[in-house]
Amino acid sequence: MFYIASIKQSLLLEPCAYSYDIEQTLNNRLVSMVEGSCSGSYGYIISVLSVLSISEGLVQHTGHTIFEIRYKALTLNVSKGDVVDAMVSETNRMGIFATIGPVACYVQRHFSKMVGGERALQKHRHHEMALCRSRVSDKALACTQRLPLACCLCASVLLFSLYLLLKFLSLKMEQRRKRAPGIQVHISAIKDINNQINSLSERITEYKGKIDDELRRSSERAENTRIRVAIRELDESIRSLKAKRSTHLDEKSTLVAEFNGLKEEVSGEKRRINFGSLDELEKKEKEVNYKLMVSKVTPQQEREISATLSEIKKKRIDLQNLGSKESRLNVLNTRIGELNELLKTSKNEIDEKRKKIDSLKQDLQNLVEKGKNKSDVVVDYEKKIEEFKKTKNDLYERRKAEQNEIVKKEEAYDKYLKALAEVQEQESQRKAVKERIKRFDDDRNALLNEQTNYNPKKFDELAEALKCIVGKDKDLKIPISLVKRLNEVGVKLPRDKKDVENTIEALRRIKSDFEKTAYGHLEKIERRISELDIKIENEKRVLESMPQTDIKLRKEPIY
């Protein structure tokens, strides 16, 4: 969880900060910039332990200098599976708030059923928390890191005595946005303004309470109480009427639905029967029976008459059923009418009571205004409240102005960081090109040294050197450097002046043999040198085509 990390940081120093002790200036600037910040790679930087190295400064045309600083820092980097000790900082009906160093966690209250209530957790006591699941369940808690990191944690809770063990199972870390230099003054001013606003709000609340106390002590207190009681009773009566009205509306909607369905059913049956009433069916039945008695009918006619009588009988039954449904329709219609009257009456009563409430509220307002006019103390309190409100509005404007200044400086700082990133990118590209050129130059120098070893002229140089050492002295004196070179080419050293000619002849023979084998090596070396020259020239053209690094800084300083 806590680590010591080696971190690299780019730092820009303005000309006005140059001093005889520039190293101490850089150290102070580094501490103020990184301590308390969050890096996505290293986590929350708690403290700078030591500065390891400071690079040579890269001076810009504006006089600003970029330094690369490597330093060792104590970091807090929460990893998946970590088990840490947490301290409960606050408990309320929603849950508990626990802190793990700079990390703040929120634990939902419903877990308390598992651990025995609120007495199991105490404020400002250390508890160990264990997050043991990767998904939220009905017994799970969610911890969200509020301050410099952004952690999303989900799991269930295990409690051991007064220690709550917290285990990080899933983790999301976001880099906190760095504050622009120079805005701390505005932040402090905003904090002071907020404190003043809170103080004024408390004073306003205090004076409002004094006004209420003064009004309660006035002579109109009894009348005020009576009106308030009447308003309360009317409100209760309205709520009761609304409840009854809601019941009647529900009953009406049910009856209307039944009435409409039954009405459609009756209309369909009437169209199917094709007879308006039961009397018509009885009359039709008498006519058929009379015809059957007074006239002689054939078997075919008898069957037709029998079918007609059966149909009449069936329709009579349908008409009887239809009559019962029509009776039900009449009952429903009557009840719906009664409900409409009840709803209309209750609506009128509610409207009347609301009018009475409005009238009573107006009387209460008049009574309050009358009490205010009578009391000079109330008037004085109201004047002070108005003054406090005016002061609060002025403070709001000041706070808004400070916030606008912060926004402006942050926008300027964002532009500066963008320009700095572009400069660093350009410098890294130029550095990469220079490193390639240096590598090609080193390879070329190595090939030139190798080319010297394959040059046959070195044998002529050795022969000339041997001729020069032949003098009048009887003894032969050979320099150590010449001895070394003769040993490198594999020639025996001459013992005396007479043996020098033999050594020179041996050098000529070795040269003849060496020229036969060295020609191919020299061609390869020259070809490789030519290729390296082309690469070096291309890299130099690339370097020349790169734009000069420049930072367009604002005329006014952003620090």
36 token code pair:
């308390």
> Do the bridges between strand 163-167 and strand 83-91 make them parallel or antiparallel, or are there none, so unpaired?
antiparallel
* pLDDT for residue 202: 92
128 token code pair:
């160990």
pLDDT tens digits for range 284-299:
667 766 666 667 667 7
* pLDDT for residue 191: 92
Inter-CA distances, 350 with 52, 321, 354, 356, Å = 83, 43, 6, 10
Other C-beta atoms closer than 10 Å to the C-beta of 1 total 16
| Of 496 and 351, the one with more pLDDT | 351
Q: What is the mean pLDDT of residues 320-329?
A: 76
* Percentage of the chain modeled with pLDDT above 90: 11
**Local structure of 549: helix, strand or coil:** coil
* pLDDT for residue 491: 76
Locate tokens 């001895």: which residue? 483
Q: What is the mean pLDDT of residues 354-368?
A: 84
pLDDT tens digits for range 465-514:
777 776 555 567 777 777 777 777 777 777 777 777 777 777 777 777 77
Residue 558 CB contacts under 8 Å (≥ 6 apart), including other chains: 180, 181, 182, 409, 412, 413, 416
Locate tokens 């980097």: which residue? 77
**Local structure of 38: helix, strand or coil:** strand
| Of 386 and 279, the one with more pLDDT | 386
* pLDDT for residue 80: 64
Question: In this structure, are residues 384 and 207 in contact, taking their beta carbons and an 8 Å threshold?
Answer: yes
* pLDDT band for position 438 (cuts 50, 70, 90): very high
* pLDDT band for position 217 (cuts 50, 70, 90): low
> Using CB atoms within 10 A of its CB, is residue 86 exposed (0-12), middle (13-18) or buried (19+)?
buried
* pLDDT for residue 212: 78
512 token code pair:
């003849």
Domain boundaries, the chain: 2-76, 83-167, 222-374, 419-545
* pLDDT for residue 57: 83
Amino acid letter, residue 471: G
Indicate the angle between helix axes 299-374 and 221-273, nearest 10 degrees.
170
Class of domain 2-76: alpha beta
Of 89-93, 117-121, 362-366, the range with the highest mean pLDDT is 362-366
Q: Report residue 181 CA to chain centroid gap.
A: 23
Query: How far apart are alpha carbons 454 and 321 in whole angstroms?
Result: 129
Q: What is the mean pLDDT of residues 54-66?
A: 83
Question: In this structure, are residues 155 and 169 in contact, taking their beta carbons and an 8 Å threshold?
Answer: yes
pLDDT tens digits for range 117-174:
433 444 444 444 443 332 333 333 333 333 333 333 333 333 332 334 555 544 555 5
pLDDT tens digits for range 516-545:
777 777 778 888 889 989 999 998 888 888
| CA dihedral (372, 378, 380, 383) positive or negative | negative
127 token code pair:
């508890």
Q: What is the mean pLDDT of residues 245-264?
A: 87
Q: Average the pLDDT over each of 117-126, 451-460, 543-552 and give the range with the smallest value.
A: 117-126
Query: How far apart are alpha carbons 24 and 230 in whole angstroms?
Result: 78
- CA dihedral of 358, 363, 369, 373, whole degrees rounded to 10: 170
Q: What is the mean pLDDT of residues 317-335?
A: 78
Locate tokens 């793990």: which residue? 100
pLDDT tens digits for range 390-420:
999 999 999 999 999 999 988 888 888 888 8
Asked if residue 556 has pLDDT above 60, the reply is no
Nearest alpha-carbon partner for 14 in 25, 4, 3: 25
Question: In this structure, are residues 25 and 19 in contact, taking their beta carbons and an 8 Å threshold?
Answer: yes
**Local structure of 35: helix, strand or coil:** coil
Residue 268 CB contacts under 8 Å (≥ 6 apart), including other chains: none
Question: In this structure, are residues 122 and 144 in contact, taking their beta carbons and an 8 Å threshold?
Answer: no
Asked if residue 46 has pLDDT above 80, the reply is yes
**Local structure of 236: helix, strand or coil:** helix
Mean pLDDT taken over the chain: 75
Amino acid letter, residue 95: G
- CA dihedral of 256, 257, 258, 261, whole degrees rounded to 10: 120
97 token code pair:
């708030």
